[in-house]
Amino acid sequence: MPDRCPRCRGALENPNAFVCPSCSYALRLPAVGKAGAALLGIGLLAFLVALFMPEEIWLTVLLGGTLALVAGLGALLTSGLLIGRARRA
């Protein structure tokens, strides 16, 4: 991790911080945000795959894709809340 903020060039005491303490620039994405982005990709891929599925399992694949999208959006919302909390601290 960098020892300086790329935006304000201020020194970072904690290299694992989510935001810069002086300018509140988001330095990194929490792991839950990375998992949320992966779940969004899986959900969209499930919707594309469902186009070519037989009729018997089509609804199951769509339901799985919808659940993956909802879980991914929830994880990204949690990531945003973590970054917002770090900015206020």
Q: For the chain, what is the mean pLDDT?
A: 92
Other beta carbons within 10 Å of 23 = 12
Residue 1, pLDDT score: 64
Percent of the chain whose predicted confidence (pLDDT) is above 90: 69
Residue 2, pLDDT score: 73
**Closest to 66 in 3D by CA, of 87, 50, 82, 80:** 50
Name which of 1-5, 21-25, 61-65 the model is least confident about.
1-5
pLDDT at 3 over 90: no
pLDDT at 14 over 90: no
Report residue 66's pLDDT band, with 50, 70 and 90 as the boundaries.
very high
Residue 83, pLDDT score: 94
Q: Which two tokens stand for residue 81?
A: 């809340």
**Closest to 11 in 3D by CA, of 2, 26, 29, 85:** 2
